[in-house]
Structure 1
Amino acid sequence: MSWTVYLSGEIHTDWRERIERGCADAGLELTFYGPVTDHAASDDCGVAILGPEGKPFWKDHLGAGVNAIRTRSLLEASDVVVVRFGEQYRQWNAAFDAGYAAALGKPLITLHPEEHDHALKEVDRAALVVAREPEQVVDVLRYVLDGTLPARPQA
């Protein structure tokens, strides 16, 4: 069985690569989608394609529209959505993606440190899984695809 997984959220760490590498190492047949992770390109796509805007609000508005074509289409095409909330920045777009995925009825996995539990309680309530590390996401995907539990050291 081949599934598609949308990886949303924080763009400043290697969490996506850790999930993709872990899934490849586990032999899982997955296709990964995600937003444009080049921050400058994502911010400037609207004005780079459609022309300059005089006010930052309208520059952001154009870029958000262009990026939404990608985000909405790929979220809708995905079987599972993983949303990472990082430690350094507020990811309002990630919260929007989580809500959109929940509204579409997509299985949702959130990934964030314990310190964010209170702030993300509503988002986590919509998620089927709350993970702390990318490797836990790999273990969840392995289990739901193959029924295989991770090897645990004997106590």
Structure 2
Amino acid sequence: MKVYLSGEIHTDWREQIITGAQGLDVTFAAPITDHAASDDCGVAILGAEEDKFWHDRKGAQINAIRTRKAIAEADVVVVRFGDQYKQWNAAFDAGYAAALGKSLIILHSADHAHALKEVDAAALAVASEPAQVVAILRYVLTGALAG
């Protein structure tokens, strides 16, 4: 199974899922989580921009090549919404995955339940902890409820 891990980059939730899923037949993909590299890839590759809008746009478009490919190839897309920042890109990834008919798991705290109600409604599962995502993957792949 191919799983794309989208969303916030400031906590270790991805590592928790990857570690928890050891032994399962799962391949994980993710965006570039080095914030500076992600922000600056466009100008580093294609040349400097004086205007911050175009600087950001170049990076966003190059990152979109990676993101679109990973979501298109994924069997399951997990989108994590963290507490620290607004993740507009994560919401976009969730919508893109839903539009492609991907199996979508949303991961967030109870504090975001109201704000993400439309995103949650598009998901096949809404989890609050990375361990729940691992349990879903284990159940889907093996039928086992416990690891």
When normalised by structure 2's length, the TM-score is: 0.99
1:12 aligns with 2:4: no
1:55 aligns with 2:55: no
1:125 aligns with 2:141: no
User: Partners in 2 of 1:115 and 1:87 — Cα distance?
Assistant: 8
Matches within 5 A, 1:21-40: 21-24=19-22, 27-40=23-36
Q: Aligned-pair distance for 1:149?
A: 0.5
* Structure 1 consecutive aligned stretches of length 4 or more whose deviation exceeds 4 Å: none
Cα deviation code 1:99-148 (max 9, x no counterpart): 00000000000000000000000000000000000000000000011000
Q: Aligned-pair distance for 1:150?
A: 2.1
Cα deviation code 1:49-108 (max 9, x no counterpart): 000001110001100110000000010001000000000011000000000000000000
User: Partners in 1 of 2:20 and 2:116 — Cα distance?
Assistant: 26
User: Partners in 1 of 2:117 and 2:94 — Cα distance?
Assistant: 12
Equivalent pairs counted in the alignment come to 147
Query: Which of 114, 136, 139 matches 1:140?
Result: 136
User: Partners in 2 of 1:117 and 1:150 — Cα distance?
Assistant: 26
Query: Which of 79, 82, 86 matches 1:83?
Result: 79
SS of match in other structure, 1:140: helix
Rg (Cα) greater in structure: 1
Aligned AA (2:14): R
User: Partners in 2 of 1:50 and 1:130 — Cα distance?
Assistant: 39
1:66 aligns with 2:55: no
User: Partners in 2 of 1:37 and 1:115 — Cα distance?
Assistant: 24
When normalised by structure 1's length, the TM-score is: 0.94
